Amino acid sequence: MEKKTARLTLLIDPHKKRAFEQLCAAQDLTPSQVVRQLIRDYLRDHGVEYETRPDLAGRDATGRE
């Protein structure tokens, strides 16, 4: 079971990063929230199951229930 968070570092073109951050801000989401949702969707689409933190179950990409 997941006990804490882990950091994922990636390299991205600065122009794409700026556009991504602007889009996230326009949608009132943080880049981290969007990336976490993208990863969940990717895992689901490929049939990968994983354990989740029980205190976060039932929340959406924004962290709200």
Q: What is the pLDDT of residues 13-51, one digit of tens each?
A: 999 999 999 999 999 999 999 999 999 999 999 999 998
Q: What is the largest CA-CA distance in the chain?
A: 37
User: Is the entire prediction scored with pTM above 0.75?
Assistant: no
Rounded Cα gap, residues 42 and 48, in angstroms: 9
29, 62 contact by CB (below 8 A): yes
Sign of CA dihedral 45, 35, 58, 27: negative
